Structures are given as structure tokens and as C-alpha cells.
């Protein structure tokens, strides 16, 4: 069975999508449509913007969504048997399986990005990656810190767990992890504490937009970040999509469940091949293709 997967924030680069724009009439049409929907020339920023411009959450999220969706529409070899996306990529997955229209998905991504940007500005926060260390110990350490917010946020692969929270909370957690034997950790260059309780204001803000958006019956299951299980019911998908903002991304668990359910090939659409690399670290027996 064939699984299509879609990346999240962090995969962006200047020039993203320009080759598709030049080669495929459909790509040009979708880029122009996106600029009209959003009311500003996103495509110009994607093709010619600086790294600093592309790093802004309000730009990054719609840019990565658009690149991945256009790549899917232009390069996909048939329909998938299942889909999944990492964080922001879940919106692309839902556009790919028909649960959301292209316009609705893009508008939700834009609203999500602005809501998250505002939440990030409310307090000094961030994320850090812990490499080659026991997830259970990371979870235990985070649980011992009570006066600051710090939680496991992205279970990316068996040897990569991202934690999220206030800057002070991250510093305390990293100190305790060093004492516990962790040797490879680093702060990430992100705008705030994604997938943590500090995103509650963004979740509250996005809730109404998600409620007002029509979710259709999907053409295939989506494996959602908040549950790591297959979802096909529109109301369930809607709730899990909203929960994702403050909930950990269960990527390792999602990929393992997709494999258990029959996925033998994973095709990644969008900028970079980050997810292909993570999937290979999770299970070397499956085929991975970056498009």
C-alpha cells in the first residue's frame, strides 16, 4: 500500500516551488490562485524572498503548505491508500485526501499561522531537540519541572525527541537531561513553543475557524498527529486537527501504525526530504521517495 506524507514548518527555502511553477501549467494556476485567496503575493516571497522573510511563521506555514500541495497535484502517481502530515503538513494531507478543499485548507493554514505567531509573542518560549536518548527519561525530566512549562512535543524518530516550552523551562530540562546522561541537545531556531500548552491562545483562536469550515468525507484515512491512528470521520478529523496545536506530534507512532496497517511505500511531497529520513530511522524495510 502507498502512503503520501507532507512536511511541516522548517522545510522552507528561498526558491521553493519555482521549478514547478515554470514546468507545470497547473502549478502556475495554483500559485496564482493562492496569491488571490491570501490577498498578498506569497509566491513571490517563496521564489525570491530572503531566509529571514521565509522564517516568519505567518509566511512559512502557507508557503510550505502550498509547495507540498502543488507538488502533490503535479507529481503524484495516482491516489494514496493513506496520508499523514507532520504538524502543519496534516493540513496538506487533508487537502490531498479531499477532506478539505484547497482554498479552505490554505485559509485555515494562514489563520493558524497568524494565531500561532500571536501566541509566540505572548512569552519567551521555544523548542529544543534531544538526540539519541531514551524518550521515557525525557518525559520523566519534563514532568519534574513544575514552575515552568516544558513538555515533549515532537516524537520524530526513535532517537529524536523535541521538547517545547518557556525558555527557562527548556534550560532547566536540558540541565537535568545532561545530569541524566544526555549528550546531544540543541535549541531550535523556531518562533515559539509549538505543540505545548503555551499554544492554548492559538488553539482558542483557531477553534471558531475550524468549526465554520466544512470537512468532507476523505478518499482515504489520515493518520493524525494527536492520535497516531487512522481517521476517516470528518468530525473526528476536525477535533484532532484542533487538538494538535497543544498536543505532541506522534510521528514515530504514526509511521509505525501506517506500516502495521499495510504501508510499504512512503512518498514525501514538498520542500526537502526530512520525513523520508525520519521514516528510514523508524523502519528501514519500507520504501521512501522524496518528490
Q: What residues act catalytically?
A: 87, 195
Give, in order, the Cα–Cα distances in Å from 150 to each of 6, 121, 242, 243. 27, 17, 20, 18
- DSSP per-residue codes, 5-19: EE--TT---TTTTHH
The cell 531556531 sits on which residue?
A: 189
Q: For 230, phi and psi rounded to 5 degrees?
A: -75, 135
Contact in structure between 268 and 5 (CB atoms under 8 Å): yes
Smallest CA-to-CA distance from 107 within 98, 117, 95 is with: 95
The cell 512535543 sits on which residue?
A: 153
Smallest CA-to-CA distance from 127 within 194, 55, 52 is with: 194
Smallest CA-to-CA distance from 175 within 202, 210, 150 is with: 150
Amino acid at each position: 500500500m502507498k502512503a503520501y506524507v507532507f512536511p511541516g514548518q522548517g522545510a522552507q527555502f528561498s526558491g521553493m516551488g519555482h521549478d514547478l511553477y515554470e514546468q507545470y501549467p497547473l502549478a502556475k494556476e495554483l500559485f496564482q490562485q493562492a496569491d488571490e485567496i491570501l490577498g498578498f503575493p506569497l509566491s513571490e516571497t517563496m521564489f525570491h524572498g530572503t531566509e529571514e522573510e521565509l522564517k516568519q511563521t505567518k509566511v512559512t506555514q502557507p508557503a510550505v503548505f502550498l509547495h507540498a500541495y502543488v507538488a502533490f497535484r503535479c507529481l503524484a502517481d495516482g491516489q494514496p491508500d493513506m496520508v499523514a502530515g507532520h504538524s502543519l503538513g496534516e493540513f496538506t494531507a487533508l487537502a490531498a485526501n479531499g477532506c478539505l478543499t484547497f482554498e479552505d485548507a490554505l485559509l485555515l493554514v494562514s489563520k493558524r499561522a497568524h494565531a500561532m505567531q500571536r501566541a509566540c509573542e505572548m512569552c519567551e518560549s521555544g523548542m529544543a531537540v534531544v538526540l539519541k536518548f531514551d524518550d521515557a527519561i525525557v518525559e520523566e525530566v519534563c514532568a519534574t519541572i513544575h514552575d515552568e512549562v516544558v513538555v515533549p512535543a515532537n516524537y520524530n524518530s526513535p532517537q529524536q525527541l523535541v521538547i517545547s516550552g518557556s525558555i527557562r523551562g527548556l534550560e532547566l530540562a536540558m540541565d537535568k537531561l545532561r545530569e541524566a546522561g544526555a549528550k546531544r541537545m540543541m535549541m531550535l531556531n523556531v518562533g515559539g513553543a509549538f505543540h505545548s500548552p503555551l499554544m492554548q491562545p492559538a488553539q482558542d483562536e483557531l477553534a471558531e475557524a475550524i468549526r465554520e469550515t466544512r470537512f468532507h468525507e476523505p478518499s482515504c484515512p489520515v493518520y493524525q498527529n494527536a492520535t497516531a491512528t487512522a481517521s476517516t470521520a470528518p468530525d473526528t478529523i476536525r477535533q484532532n486537527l484542533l487538538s494538535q496545536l497543544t498536543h505532541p506530534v506522534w510521528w514515530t507512532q504514526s509511521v509505525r501504525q501506517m506500516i502495521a496497517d499495510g504501508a510499504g511505500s512512503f512518498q514525501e511531497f514538498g520542500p526537502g526530504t526530512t520525513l523520508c529520513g525520519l521514516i528510514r530511522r523508524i523502519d528501514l524495510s519500507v520504501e521512501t521517495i522524496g518528490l
